[in-house]
Amino acid sequence: MREIHSELRKIFPWYNRWHKHPHHQHTHWFGLFSFLLLTSSFISAQTIFLYAERFEAQAQTGNLPAPNHPIYLGYYKVDANYGDFKDEVKNSVNMFMTETDYRLPVNQYKQNLDQDIQEMIALNKDIALGLDWGNDPIVDAALATATPYWNNIDFIMMTDEPSWDKLTTEQNIANLKSRISQRGLASKKILINFTPNQILTGTGYQASNLDIVSFEAYMNFDQQNSSTLASDLTNQIRQMKSAINNNKVGSKEKMIVVQGYARNYCPSAPTLCWTNLNSLKSLQSIPYLEAATDPSVIGLTIFSWSRATGTKDLSQNYNGDCIKREHERIWGAISGTTQPISIACGGGSGGPIQFAPILSQWSPPQTNNGWWPELSPDGRYVAYGNWGQSWVTDLQTKTNYDLSKPTGLPAGARCIAGKWIRSDTLTYVCDSIPGTSGFWRYEVKVGQWTPIKMNDDPLLVMGNRFEAKDGHWASYGAGRFQISKDNKVLVGGRADPNDTGALGGLDGSLLLSACTNNNNSLCVWDGYNLTDTLSIRTPGFNDFEIGGGDYIAYGNRTNLRGICMSDKQDINLKATSSSLSESVSGPVILVNGQPWLFTGAWNSSEGYMLLRPWGQRNSIVIDDLGVHMSIAYNNGVFTIAYNNDVGHLKVITVSENAPKNDLSGGLASETCGNTVSNSCPAPGITSRITTPSKTWNPKQNSGFGWFPHLSPDGRYVGYGFGNLRITDLKTSQERDFSKPFGGSTPSNYACYSPWWIKPTVATAQCVFDDYPPPILTDRIEIDTSDTSSWTARRTTDDPALVSGPGFTAYDGHWATGKVNGTIIYDNQVLISDPNIHWGAVTGQGGWLAFAINTVPPNIWEIWIYQNGNLVKKYQPKHGINSLSINNGYFAYADVKGHQTGVYPDGREVDLAATSWQGDFGGHIVMVQGQPWIVTAATDPSINKDIILLHEWGNTNSIIILGAASGLDTVFDPSTNEFIVAHNDAKGYLTVDWVPLNSQRYNLITDKFYCPVTTSPATTPISCEPGVVQPGIPVICGFSPTIARPGDSINVVGGNLSGTVELLSASGAKYTMTGTIDTAKSNIDFNIANNVPEGDYTLSIIGSDGITRATSNQVLRVVLVIPDAGATGTDIPFGQATGINVPGSTTTFEKIISDFLTYAVYGLGIAIFVYRTGSCYSFVLIHHSIHY
């Protein structure tokens, strides 16, 4: 079954219900739309018919019509033998095809395919599993690899262009379906692609068991200049559809392959066979128009993205952005999002640009020397002038002030345009006595206009770039490789290009510079301290600026990127296509509290200035370009000052509401950092707490609601401690299973909160033997699928194995932790180790995690199992009080609430969501393919318990009120809501429904919890195109950049080897061996435990011991904070400070009593029994299963 698409839900209100109920359980509702759909289909069909009759070989420039049914859209060759380009197309498709290189050895193929599928799932795309039918080892490997992800597979692409007849096709499909069934997997739709000739002359497509017939909508290159090209393709598509419909056996859905390539290169020549790109462009939307109103056409696949003459090649090398743009317009129609403007082929910005109306314009009448203009922050004054002239003009009164001859300036000395060091004060420099070195710095106050010479060292003022802002000035001397700030040397001065590169600008107390003269990294200084060394994705930048308190823009004219200092994310800022160069033209400015970017864009025939919000593509476009530009914003108006290549100055104004244009070719917007609303509400509950859309409480809500567990779909909730209950949250029907077998239930039976071992089947432990040991336990199952009669049954599991405090169940499996280091998995002993003192168990999605503590030397470990097999052992950096796992992600916290998350690849992330100590719980729920973490805390500012829901690694949280001694959460994709079940310290149970789009707040960085309007975006480290060259080692970046001894570091680059060297500032070297991938583009290594705190340069060492590549990033190594982890005297899974652990007990009832007394201090707990002499004691740990 296809995954629910959020995009389609926006377009079609009926889609969600239709998709979830393929057997039309809502036909009474769906029928309401039938007439409207048929009517719209008829009208659309007539429109397309008329359109096709008049169509000539040119692109449709208006918006494409919306479809009347869901349509797949994807490219061939996105992640195949040509490379992985999913990130390049992810924003304009809803489907990926697995095309893992079949030529690889089977083991490598499986590894690559597994990674491909995981990445596709993470991107929330539909997945077509591609098979190389006939290559049995690869087919078997593909099915085996896809098995854990089978629910995410939408259909199977069996083969391409086979010459099979109908009988052979039916036999091969039957063979494939049998192999799928033998693996216990559900049947999937089968697709085979055919050429038009195979449809017209063959019979393979008529196979009765073939579900989807795909055919190619291609034209030969000798037709590219035909005046009937478009109509010929339309007729061909209709002929294919008619042939399939007339000869079908059973229901045949269809998919059409779009000709998104130039039919390869001409023989023996590296040129395009299809040279008329405008005629090729005219073919792109025709298959969509033929699919939009034909529900039997369920998808479009574009051939291809990355192969020679494909869409990517045409865009990058043949001025063929126009082809990609048509695909983006198709995606806009399918998804209901904005369709970009169709553009002409062969370069240029394309389409009619709506230029910003110029509100006013001014140029200085007294001089043509308008170089280096700088506007005052309010835009009223402009300073300008090259050496020999220094002017300021009041743009309101048009008064000119000549500052080029301050009192005392020696004859022959020259001054230059100034900078605004404060809003009312200009500073500028003049060269000192001719024949000597140094610059004198002057300041002049608005309204007085009398230059005052400052007492700065002329040698420190002198430089190739001078900047002033926010009360500070700085200068960069290129020959000396020195930056001076406020009359002190900040860095350099030894004429060493490795000391520093150029000055990038000032912003408050911050200064931005290139770390070295090769411009491969950025350094951020606060005051006189280096606070950040930032890796970059475009080494060798030409332009870079800082502004807005958080934002850095940099680029090399081809690439334009931005970094948010708050989260170190590096995003694409370019707002133009590859046909235009673009560079940052001034510091980032704030417009109504939001960051905006000012850039220049040009090619040999065009030049523009662009204004837009940070990370967005839609830009205000000004039809002119300056060599040097300055900008100010005030009351809805931008003032822009710029000079051309001969120094002529213009000052213009444009409105903030001027028309905007997307010149990027349809690139999606990106964002980073935490952009907080500038109107921060006063502190108080109502300013930051989300009110659930719905709340439920059980009828008996006093001491009965302990430790709730929700069914995977959120419909049922089970709870109770010795008094098991299950409630249908849809009907509010509540069932009491405290005596699951009625009158035959033993009197000493005590059943506890159930887990959901299957979507509709709950399982629970029922203890039935009194103390003393052995305590025996039944495992019961309750099937809720029959709403009329829920019955409990005993399983045949061994009661001696079922017993144990660490019980969990998930996805058809159950496990429990026992005394003496024993872990039980599905009625078998999985682990039995007398050295294991403590064990906790949690599981989900085929994954199982154990928290292990050994007796002596008191070492903590987390053991990860998948499908019953040990896959890794992980040593946490602190003790463990809670543990959760989901889809390979796991999270753990210590007794102080310090939350740590671990990615499937072993990387760590701090999951804390509050600025105060005590962010407890920490279970993981998957939301649209991405992990979220749910935690609980007490807000000291309001003295109330709260529950926080936030994305993995992101501190911006949805916050609801509620205590959580027990806590479970699931996400319902049909309503886009979290369902949160939680009980307080008295066993009062509440279930809340919380919308995903609820306002989020940052409880770490925002004093009054201002609402967060933009969440951080994740941009993985990768190499820019062209950086990696054959045979030349290069490091493009690594993460994390701050880590502890023992932490894992991932290095990304090209032609790497597996040996890593860390070099300290004192010259100490530490060598480590990492794990390298087959492409030699990724290394994972662990920092050696003997590496002391400090900053290190990271290099790759060849087998000959010679340094082959060195990173421009700095790796900062820090040590573990001493009180962050458990010590030898800590109680594992211990109580919070100030709680007395109960003493030894003499009866089982006393154990239960003590547990109820102290369980209030646990959080979603599991009970672990350990033996001391003849007595047993309880220790508490949170654990839960999350869906």
Highest mean pLDDT among 39-48, 397-406, 508-517, 1079-1088: 397-406
Q: What is the CATH number of the domain that holds 1057?
A: 2.60.40.10
Cα–Cα dist 27/18, whole Å = 9
Domain that holds residue 409: 360-462+536-673
Given a contact cutoff of 8 angstroms between Cβ atoms, the answer to whether 583 and 560 are in contact is: yes
Per the document, the length of the chain is: 1187
What value does the mean pLDDT of the chain take?
79
- Give residue-wise pLDDT tens across range 815-852: 887 766 788 889 988 888 777 655 556 666 667 777 76
Q: What is the CATH number of the domain that holds 171?
A: 3.20.20.70
| Degrees to nearest 5, angle at CA 122 with 116 and 127 | 55
Q: Residues 1096, 1132: one domain?
A: no
Given a contact cutoff of 8 angstroms between Cβ atoms, the answer to whether 881 and 895 are in contact is: yes
- Give residue-wise pLDDT tens across range 792-820: 899 999 988 888 777 888 888 888 877 66
How many H-runs (helices) and E-runs (strands) does the chain carry?
Answer: 16, 84
Among 1122, 1138, 1154, identify where a domain stops. 1122
Cα–Cα dist 763/709, whole Å = 11
Given a contact cutoff of 8 angstroms between Cβ atoms, the answer to whether 523 and 538 are in contact is: no
Q: Does 30 have pLDDT greater than 60?
A: no
Q: How confident is the model at residue 774 (pLDDT cuts 50, 70, 90)?
A: low
Q: Out of 357-371, 710-724, 783-797, 969-983, which region has the weakest mean confidence (pLDDT)?
A: 783-797
Q: Does 1124 have pLDDT greater than 60?
A: no
Furthest-apart CA pair in the chain: how many Å?
112
Q: Residues 200, 262: one domain?
A: yes
Q: Residues 661, 791: one domain?
A: no
Q: Does 664 have pLDDT greater than 60?
A: yes
The pLDDT of residue 556 is 86
- In the block, tokens 């389609």 appear at 8
Q: For residue 752, which amino acid is it?
A: Y
- In the block, tokens 């109908």 appear at 166
- Angle between helix axes 136-146 and 106-122 (nearest 10 degrees) is 40
Mind spelling out the 3-state secondary structure of 449-480?
Answer: CCCEECCCCHHHHCCCEEEEECCEEEEEECCC
Cα–Cα dist 421/452, whole Å = 14
Q: Out of 309-318, 499-508, 1120-1129, which region has the weakest mean confidence (pLDDT)?
A: 1120-1129
**Residue that wins the pLDDT comparison between 924 and 259:** 259
Among 979, 1014, 1049, identify where a domain stops. 1014
The pLDDT of residue 843 is 66
Q: Out of 89-93, 381-385, 595-599, 906-910, which region has the weakest mean confidence (pLDDT)?
A: 906-910
The pLDDT of residue 1145 is 32
Mind spelling out the 3-state secondary structure of 286-329?
Answer: HHHHHHHCCCCEEEEEEECCCCCCCHHHHHHHCCCHHHHHHHHH
Cα–Cα dist 495/508, whole Å = 28
Q: Residues 383, 313: one domain?
A: no
**Residue that wins the pLDDT comparison between 33 and 524:** 524
Q: Does 675 have pLDDT greater than 70?
A: no
* Burial classification of residue 1126, based on how many CB atoms lie within 10 Å of its CB (0-12 exposed, 13-18 middle, 19 or more buried): buried
For residue 59, being part of any structural domain is answered with yes
451 prior amide bond cis, ω within 30: no
Q: Does 63 have pLDDT greater than 90?
A: no
For residue 684, being part of any structural domain is answered with no
Q: Residues 1108, 1139: one domain?
A: no
Cα–Cα dist 509/526, whole Å = 6
Q: What is the CATH number of the domain that holds 709?
A: 2.130.10.10
For residue 864, being part of any structural domain is answered with yes
The pLDDT of residue 228 is 87
First vs last C-alpha separation in the chain: 18
Q: Does 775 have pLDDT greater than 80?
A: no
* Burial classification of residue 601, based on how many CB atoms lie within 10 Å of its CB (0-12 exposed, 13-18 middle, 19 or more buried): buried
Cα–Cα dist 754/781, whole Å = 9
CB atoms < 10 A from the CB of 20, how many?
Answer: 13
Given a contact cutoff of 8 angstroms between Cβ atoms, the answer to whether 840 and 833 are in contact is: no
The pLDDT of residue 1138 is 28
Q: How confident is the model at residue 1131 (pLDDT cuts 50, 70, 90)?
A: very low
DSSP, res 857: T
Given a contact cutoff of 8 angstroms between Cβ atoms, the answer to whether 812 and 825 are in contact is: no
| Degrees to nearest 5, angle at CA 1145 with 1142 and 1151 | 75
Given a contact cutoff of 8 angstroms between Cβ atoms, the answer to whether 819 and 1169 are in contact is: yes
For residue 1154, being part of any structural domain is answered with yes
Among 673, 706, 734, identify where a domain stops. 673
Cα–Cα dist 805/1168, whole Å = 5
Q: Residues 1118, 1133: one domain?
A: no
- In the block, tokens 């000493």 appear at 748
3-state secondary structure of 62: coil
In a 13 Å sphere around the CA of 280, the CA atoms on its Cβ side amount to: 32
Q: Out of 20-29, 439-448, 696-705, which region has the weakest mean confidence (pLDDT)?
A: 20-29
- Give residue-wise pLDDT tens across range 139-169: 999 999 999 999 999 999 999 999 999 999 9
Highest mean pLDDT among 521-525, 927-931, 1176-1180: 521-525
- Give residue-wise pLDDT tens across range 269-284: 445 678 788 889 999 9
Cα–Cα dist 837/858, whole Å = 9
Structure tokens at 851: 């928290």
Q: For residue 1181, which amino acid is it?
A: I
For residue 490, being part of any structural domain is answered with no
Q: Does 734 have pLDDT greater than 90?
A: no
Cα–Cα dist 601/583, whole Å = 7
Q: Where are the alpha helices (DSSP H) in 55-195?
A: 86-89, 106-122, 136-146, 166-182
Q: How confident is the model at residue 376 (pLDDT cuts 50, 70, 90)?
A: very high
Long-range contacts, stretch 524-533, CB < 8 angstroms, 24+ apart: 524/552, 524/565, 525/485, 525/490, 525/491, 528/485, 528/488, 528/490, 530/491, 532/565, 532/568, 533/1041, 533/1112, 533/1113, 533/1114
The pLDDT of residue 1164 is 31
The pLDDT of residue 837 is 55
Give 1122's contacts (C-beta < 8 A, 6+ positions apart). Answer: none
Q: Residues 70, 86: one domain?
A: yes
Cα–Cα dist 995/1131, whole Å = 39
Highest mean pLDDT among 742-746, 883-887, 932-936, 1183-1187: 932-936
Nearest Cα to Cα of residue 885 among 808, 957, 938: 808
Q: Residues 1094, 1169: one domain?
A: no
Q: How confident is the model at residue 1149 (pLDDT cuts 50, 70, 90)?
A: very low
3-state secondary structure of 1150: helix
Cα–Cα dist 620/608, whole Å = 10
Category of 109 on φ-ψ map: left (φ > 0), alpha (ψ -120 to 50) or beta: alpha
Q: Does 13 have pLDDT greater than 70?
A: no
The pLDDT of residue 288 is 96
Share of the chain above pLDDT 70, in %: 80
The reply to whether the predicted model has a pTM over 0.85 is no
Share of the chain above pLDDT 90, in %: 34
Highest mean pLDDT among 162-176, 571-585, 742-756: 162-176
Alpha-carbon 179 to chain mean position = 36
Q: Does 239 have pLDDT greater than 70?
A: yes
The pLDDT of residue 565 is 84
Q: Residues 151, 272: one domain?
A: yes
The pLDDT of residue 685 is 38
Q: Residues 1163, 1076: one domain?
A: no
How many separate domains does the chain show?
5
Q: Out of 147-161, 609-623, 781-795, which region has the weakest mean confidence (pLDDT)?
A: 781-795
For residue 519, being part of any structural domain is answered with no
Nearest Cα to Cα of residue 172 among 186, 147, 192: 192
The pLDDT of residue 916 is 59
Structure tokens at 263: 């039919």
The pLDDT of residue 266 is 58
For residue 161, being part of any structural domain is answered with yes
**Residue that wins the pLDDT comparison between 889 and 1154:** 889
For residue 470, being part of any structural domain is answered with no
The pLDDT of residue 680 is 39
The pLDDT of residue 728 is 92
Cα–Cα dist 225/1178, whole Å = 82
Q: How confident is the model at residue 897 (pLDDT cuts 50, 70, 90)?
A: low
Mind spelling out the 3-state secondary structure of 260-289?
Answer: CCCCCECCCCCCECCCCHHHHHHHHCHHHH
Q: Residues 212, 82: one domain?
A: yes
Cα–Cα dist 873/94, whole Å = 36
Structure tokens at 365: 């009448």
Q: Does 988 have pLDDT greater than 90?
A: no
3-state secondary structure of 240: helix
Mind spelling out the 3-state secondary structure of 989-1003?
Answer: EEEEEEECCCCEEEC
Element (H, E) at 27: helix 27-54
Q: Does 1175 have pLDDT greater than 70?
A: no
Q: Residues 316, 167: one domain?
A: yes
